[in-house]
Amino acid sequence: MLRWYHMGHNMIANIFSVTKHKKTALV
């Protein structure tokens, strides 16, 4: 259970950082 939570958290954090990076690149 903890493993799945950790994986999901990493995925969300990765997507968040990617979108943040894209926003910075656009601006």
- In 1-27, DSSP assigns E strands to none
Q: Alpha-carbon torsion 19, 22, 23, 24, what sign?
A: positive
Global pTM value: 0.46
> pLDDT digit string (tens) for 6-21?
788 888 888 888 888 7
Q: Give me the pLDDT at residue 27, please.
A: 66
